[in-house]
Every structure is written in C-alpha cells, then in structure tokens.
Structure 1
Amino acid sequence: MTTLTRRGFLLAASAGLATLALPSFAAPKSLPRLIIKQAGSETISFGYHSAGPEEGRPVVLLHDFAYDIHSYAEVSQILAAQGFRVIVPYLRGHGTTRFIDRSLAHSGEPAALGSDVIALLNVLDTPEAVIGGFGWGARAARAYAALKPSRCVGLVAVDGFTAAPALARSGAARRNAAHQLWQTNSPAWHFDEALFARSAKAFDNPDFAAVIDHAYRYQRGEAAGLPQYEADEQKLAASAAIAKPLITLQGSASGIPPVGEAGADHRRIEGAGHNIPLEAPQAFANAITELVRNGKWRT
C-alpha cells in the first residue's frame, strides 16, 4: 500500500483569526442511513441524498474524497428542519455517481468537480444555491462559484485545497489508506469504526481510483488539462477572488492547514478536526443557515 501523508499536525491558534467557542461535539455511534436518488446528465449519473421541502431555499453539501455523504447525516437533518432544500451528492468516483459515457476522461481537477455541481443542479432545475463543502468538497464549491457566480448565493468552506494522495487500487488497501487519512485529518477524533465502514462502501466505485489518480497527477503537474474542462479551468484560474459571501471553518485539531482567503469570515471550531460536518454538525449548519438567511437570492 502506498504510504500516505497529509501534513498531519495540530494547528496552533493563529493571531487575528476569530475563535468560535462551542461545546465539544461528538459524532453519534449510529447515524441514519441516507436514502439515495439518481439524477443523470448526458455524461454522468449522480447519486445524491435530498431532504427538506422542494420549495425551500436550496443548499448543496459536498464531501471530501475518501469520505462520503454521511458526513452530512446530521447537518442535512438540521437544515431540512429549518425548511431548506438540502442536496448532498456523491462526488465523482464515490458511491453511486457513475460515468454514463465510459470514454469520458475521469478528471479529478477542480473545474471538473465544479462542473459536476452545475450539471446536477441543471438536472434538478435549481438555478442557485448556497454551497458548503470540506476538502475536495470545498474545492468543488469554489469552482462552482467561479464558473457560475450568478448561481452561488454563498460559500462555506472547510480546509480547502487539500492535496490528493496516491491511493491503492485494491479494495482492502484502499480502505486502509482512507482509514489512515481519517486519523491523520482528525487526530483528536476517535471516530466509531461503524461510521467509517459505512462511508468506506462509497470507495468501491469503479471510477474511484481513476479520478483520484488523475487528481494526484494533475496536482503534481503530470497531467495536462483535459479538453472538455480547459475552458472552465481558464475561467477558474482567472477568478483569483470569489466575490461571494464566504465563511471558512477550521477545526482547532485539524491535521490540514487553513487556507487564507481575503474577505472570508474565518471561524475556528474548538476541538474539531477536518470532518467538521460530522464532528461539529451544529457549527457547520449554523454557518450555512447564516448565508441562507442573509443571502441575496435572485429567485
């Protein structure tokens, strides 16, 4: 199995960053199994969970690679109870999200992830939304906002721009690698093995290795931009700053360094690691709720 590292260290409090004092959050040992629906674009069939009333303000929640939609099991319930329409898709290469066109390049670059969000919302006839994500989910959220700024009401991002490691291809080795990531990313969080096992099922997707491998090579400069995403990549690169309300969250016990972004409302969540939606669901839900309530909606 490939040795896996992800700059695993605890972050000290940074001067000038707002600290959000919250009680300690612990993920329950049992989370509800989220019901999955499928919605297809011309190229990809997306697996996703939805909650809340159809007429509610749309919220899209995006997980990191080597995690899955169950990171949002509690967050989605909290937001749905407030009358929001919550959409939680599997990232490409995870769960039941599948490439319909098998010849389509299995890109793992940011613009591809952001384009997937656009495609899903088009299928669901959703013109705009508040987007939240951690890790790759945060990268996808930023890409969506850069590619379609008029359709992004606000962003909540946790530990964006995390690197993709080279993951083993075999099932058992792949799960061991992901398990190590969970420990490295949240070193102070003693997660329940049943929770990990539930998420690990999402890594059995036949496209998982290809997508992660491409992301790894892309970040190392070993993979050229793929033709179907070149235009989007140019737009994304040109958008150095996203002119949208942005809340960034950082767990005080996260194994991943924060990303400094001009104009962001940065909040430090005491005791949490990388997987803030699962480790501190109320804190994540509060940030989403704030943007939904204060956002400038066109529709």
Structure 2
Amino acid sequence: MKIIETDALHIAYLDDGAHTGWPVILSHGFPYDVHAFDDVVPALVAAGARVIRPWCRGFGGTRFKSSACIRSGQQAARALDIVHLADALGLHQPVLAGFDWGGNASCAAAALWPDRFGALVSYGGYDVIDVQQQLQPAAPALERTCWYQHLFQSERGRKCLYENRQALCRLLWRDWSPGWVFDDSTYDRSAASFDNPDFVEVVIHCYRWMAGAEAGNPDLQPLENKLAQRPLITIPAVTLDGIRDPLKPDGTAHHARLFAGRHSHRSATCGHNFPQEQPDVFARAILDVKHWFTTQERGSSA
C-alpha cells in the first residue's frame, strides 16, 4: 500500500505494473474495496498497464487531512478525488474504470473533465446521480432491495451501520450477487476497509445527499449543478450490466444516448460485484477502450 497527498486527503492506493505503463484507475464501490479488482489486475499488467487502485474516501487507509474537512460522500467529491489522485501521480489521460460508487465517480469525472481522461468503463451505464429523480419513488420491488438506503436516512440507521457494519455489509454482498459464492477470507479481505474511522459518516452522507435529505459541500455545488444537466460522456466508453443484479433489474442499455463517443454496452451473467464475479470480462472492456482511445489519438495526430 502507498499513500499520496491531495488537497483534502491522504489517499491510500495499490500500484501494479511498470510506472512507464499506460495508466488505469480502478475505483471500487460500497461496500467493497480495492480487492474487488484482484483478478482484473493481472490481465491489465500483462498488457502493459500501470494499475492504480485507490481506497475511496472513508475506506481502508485513506484519511482526511483535517478534522475540519466535510465527510462528504457526494459524487462531485469522489469524482474530484480521482482528478486529484491523477494529478498527484502525474498520470496522463488514464483510463477510468469502476463499479457502484466507483462507477458513479468515474462517470462524473469523465463527464466533467473529458480532456483529463482517455476512456471509461462503467458498471451501471451512465452512472451520474440525479438527485431530483431520486426524490421520486421506484418500483416497489426495487424500493425493497434498497432497504439499506431507507435505513440510512435515520439516526437509527447510522447506529446500525456503526455497530453492525460487518454483518450489514456481508448481507448486501449476498443480496446483490445471487449465485456468487464467496468464502470468509474473500469477504474479510475487503471488510477490513470498513474499519476506517470515517466510514460511517461518509456512507451516511452519501445516501442522505442522494435522497435530498442532507446538503452537500457548498464548494462543490457548481460541479453538482453541471452534473444535474446530464452532460454527455464524450470519451470512448464501455458500459456493463450484470443480468442477475437486483439493483439494476432493467439493465442500463437505454443509457446509450448519453454517450457521444465510441460506446459499447455489454452484459454478463453475474450480480452487482461485476469485477469480482466476471474479472475477465471487466478486464477485456478496459483493454478494448484503451485500444479505441489509442486508435483515436493516432487518427487525430495523422
């Protein structure tokens, strides 16, 4: 594990492959961590990549630099963390790939700063949070699946997550990935990241902000205003769906209109934790968008 300093954070990350390799940033979600990509990394390194896997704010060894920093979990904060990480490491137009919170942060970063990144792989389609849409009810079956989000709106929910984070997160792993059998060591490897002292505050803020129940960081509101306009993603992109994911019962193929660059949508038989359940497919998507970006760059310089 390495640590890099940004404006707000000491970001913990894993760094695999040659430092001269083409860069890719893999971003995890809740309640997962960098080990969701363990079986994705070897194929990327073999193809010449330098693979950066940061722990999200509130997870693992990543720490806020000051007690005065807002423990925000909103999308603009997490997207900006990716930008600051890339800058601190001197990465030139890295490929972004992520799922769950990591897919959201990667999509938001690609939408806001398209010139900073080469290509995108997103599990969950165009995964930019629309707070106004979140205020509307979903189908009852999906509302039932999202019980944890409803729980987190209350102080009872905060206390439940604080006192029972391991049992609650293990339950989510099982609920969201039906058919995926994982052992205790696989879960424990990632679950250690939930002991971060800011885990509960960041998670609770994320879901309350999504539901319109808590304000975000006012300094980030201009970025959230831009994201609310649903800006098109213009860099090459592959979007992914797990056909057994109860959080995405209708899939995200209909998001294609929000991608203005070269785009492919793919599905695989798995649940929500796509990179851990289908690592070869996830890695293939990254290699493909990297090739598209490289080809595009060669064409534009010809």
2:187 matches 1:196: yes
Please list the CA deviations of residues 165-208 of structure 1 after superposition, one character each: whole Å capped at 9, or x if unmatched: 32654665111110111011101111112100111000000111
The amino acid across from 1:94 in the alignment is: F
> Number of paired residues?
263
Query: Gapped runs of 5+ residues in structure 1?
Result: 1-35
Conserved in 1, the CA contact under 8 Å of 2:108 and 2:128?
no
Name the one with the larger helix percent: 2
Aligned counterpart in structure 2 of residue 76 of structure 1, from 41, 44, 69: 41
Alignment of 1:15-94 (within 5 A): 36-94=1-59
Alignment match, 1:227: 218
Letter in 2 for 1:268: S
CA distance in 2, matches of 1:158, 1:71: 13
- Which secondary structure does the structure 2 equivalent of 1:74 belong to? coil
Matched with 2:134 is none
**Distance in structure 2 (CA, Å) of the matches to 1:97 and 1:131:** 19
Identify unmatched segments of 5+ residues in structure 2: 130-145
Q: Which whole-Å deviations, capped at 9, do the CAs of 1:118-137 have from their partners, x for residues lacking one?
A: 11111101131111101111
Instruction: Provide TM-score, normalisation by structure 2.
Output: 0.82
Question: Post-superposition shift, 1:297?
Answer: 4.7
Identity %: 36
Q: What do residues 218-252 of structure 1 show as CA deviations (whole Å, max 9, x unaligned)?
A: 11111123122112212222343211222111112
Structure 2 residue 97 is the aligned partner of structure 1 residue 132: yes
Moved more, 238-247 or 164-173: 164-173
For 2:286, the equivalent position in structure 1 comes to 288
1:100 to 65, 72, 91: 65
| Whole-Å separation in 2 of the counterparts to 1:297 and 1:229 | 32
**Does residue 181 of structure 1 match 2:172?**
yes
Higher relative contact order (CA 8 A, sep 6+): 1
- Separation in 2, partners of 1:67, 1:114: 17
Question: CA–CA distance in 1 between the matches of 2:237 and 2:79?
Answer: 16
Report Cα offsets for 1:239-269 as digits up to 9, x if no partner: 4321122211111222221333124421110
Q: Which residue of 2 aligns with 1:205?
A: 196
| More displaced stretch, 156-165 vs 228-237 | 156-165
Partners of 2:191 and 2:5 in 1: how far apart?
23
Decide whether aligned partners of structure 1 residues 161 and 65 sit closer, same or farther in structure 2, where only a CA change above 3 A counts.
Answer: farther
Question: 1:62 corresponds to which letter in structure 2?
Answer: S
Q: Name 1:27's counterpart in structure 2.
A: none
For 1:199 and 1:161, how far apart are their aligned partners in 2? 25
Q: Distance in 1 between matches of 2:106 and 2:178?
A: 25
User: Residue 146 of structure 1 contacts residue 235 of structure 1 at CA under 8 Å; is this kept in 2?
Assistant: no
Task: Note if contact 2:162-2:200 (Cα within 8 Å) is conserved in structure 1.
Answer: no
Give the corresponding residue for 2:265: 266
Counterpart of 1:47 in 2: which secondary structure? strand
